[in-house]
């Protein structure tokens, strides 16, 4: 077995986080099938309780379909301020054990506990303590995966959900990956899995039988990634200060819009929200992208990169407006979005970015205790 990094990584994932927060705050919802978001005619489910998941209700599912699958489904409006409040409480728990915390979202994070504030040798015990502290602090359940790198820890955190944990120690990594269904590999989605089936790849062992050249030829740049992860090779560190790549806002309309003229007011509101988020995050960017989703669900994007870093609502709106009129609409539109990327979160760009904002007035193999 190839020598692996001497690290102890925990992936903590809250169980049905948004839905669980709503059930926590409203006892009448406990034990019932609920969906957060998705209540409108064209809404989309943001999260579903485990009671709802039994009926096949999932996040990103159309609210209308969710209602068909579960006629008793209760829709609850999203309350992100409350979710962020709870998320901050959870992160404080993480920092009781280590400063090497990489949040992925409000409800999940990686922790490197190779060296930890408690001086504890067992990552499995630390994960158990963290889950217990989260329960004591918030009243919510969390699941965890523990292993030698981020990839395996994330895969492991799903195994004993909800309210459980799974440890994959160094000596069991290769066997675990070889026996793993290819659909369980983090980073391999439905379409990629279907393509792998055509190549006779159904398990980790099947994937491992393919050469790096074969995988690169048939799966492009991702081929090398697949070649490495099935061998337990991933050297990505837990990054406490993850760099934001982009910032966006979008809106789905109750009725399809057929003319650019009627979209301008919507774009103005979206640009305002993007600018608000930029200001709050204290970042700026150079590349504005307009996202258009048509009534047939076809998705198109149009982008423009400007010379200076911006976060001005007016500039964002005018640029998005120009992009809207850049090409004729192909169909009626159900969703518009604006994103700003090429941000000044790169340390090499930070100095120039701050200047631009001012000018614009805008802003192992080793066996050890797991």
Sheet holding 108-112, edge to edge: 101-105, 108-112, 9-14, 142-147, 165-167
Catalytic residues: 108
Residues 135, 139, 143, 144: is their CA dihedral positive or negative? negative
**Distance in angstroms (rounded) separating the CA atoms of residues 321 and 264:** 7
Phi, psi values for residue 339, rounded to 5°: -130, 155
37: left (phi over 0), alpha (psi -120 to 50) or beta: left
Q: Which are the contacts of 120, defined by CB distance < 8 A and separation ≥ 6?
A: 113, 126
**Distance in angstroms (rounded) separating the CA atoms of residues 189 and 309:** 35
- Estimate the crossing angle of helix 17-25 against helix 80-97, to 10 degrees: 110
**CB-CB contact of 334 with 252 (8 Å):** yes
β-pair partners for 246: 341
Helix, coil or strand: residue 345: coil
Q: How many CB atoms lie within 10 A of CB 155?
A: 22
DSSP 108-169: EEEEE-SS-TT--S-HHHHHHHHHHHHHHHHS--EEEEEESSHHHHHHHHTTT-SS-EEE--
**Distance in angstroms (rounded) separating the CA atoms of residues 251 and 210:** 43
């Amino acid at each position: 077995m190839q020598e692996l990094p001497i690290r102890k990584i925990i992936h903590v994932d809250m169980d049905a986080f948004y839905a669980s927060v709503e059930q926590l705050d409203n006892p009448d919802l406990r034990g019932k099938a609920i969906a957060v978001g998705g209540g409108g005619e064209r809404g989309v489910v943001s999260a579903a309780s485990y009671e709802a998941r039994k009926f096949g209700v999932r996040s990103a599912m159309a609210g209308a379909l969710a209602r068909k699958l579960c006629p008793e489904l209760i829709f609850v409006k999203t309350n992100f301020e409350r979710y962020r409040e709870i998320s901050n409480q959870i992160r404080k728990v993480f920092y009781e054990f280590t400063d090497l915390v990489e949040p992925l979202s409000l409800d999940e994070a990686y922790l490197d506990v190779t060296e930890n504030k408690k001086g504890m040798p067992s990552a499995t015990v630390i994960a158990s303590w963290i889950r217990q502290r989260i329960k004591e602090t918030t009243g919510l359940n969390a699941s965890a995966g523990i292993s030698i790198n981020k990839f395996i820890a994330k895969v492991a955190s799903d195994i004993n959900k909800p309210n459980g944990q799974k440890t994959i120690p160094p000596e069991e990594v290769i066997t675990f990956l070889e026996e793993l269904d290819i659909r369980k590999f983090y980073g391999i989605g439905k379409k990629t899995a279907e393509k792998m089936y055509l190549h006779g790849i159904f398990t980790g062992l099947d994937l491992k039988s393919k050469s790096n050249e074969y995988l690169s030829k048939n799966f492009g740049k991702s081929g090398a990634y697949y070649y490495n992860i099935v061998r337990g090779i991933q050297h990505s560190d837990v990054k406490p200060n993850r760099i934001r790549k982009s910032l966006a806002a979008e809106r789905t309309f109750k009725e399809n819009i057929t003319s650019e003229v009627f979209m301008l007011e919507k774009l103005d509101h979206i640009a305002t929200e993007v600018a608000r988020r930029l200001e709050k995050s204290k970042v700026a960017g150079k590349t504005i992208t307009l996202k258009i989703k048509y009534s047939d669900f076809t998705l198109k994007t149009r982008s423009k990169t400007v010379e200076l870093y911006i976060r001005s609502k007016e500039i964002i709106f005018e640029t998005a407006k120009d992009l809207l009129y850049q090409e004729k609409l192909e169909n009626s539109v159900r969703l518009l979005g604006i994103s700003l990327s090429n941000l000044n979160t790169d340390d090499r760009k930070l100095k120039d970015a701050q200047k631009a904002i001012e000018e614009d007035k805008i802003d192992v193999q080793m066996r050890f205790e797991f």
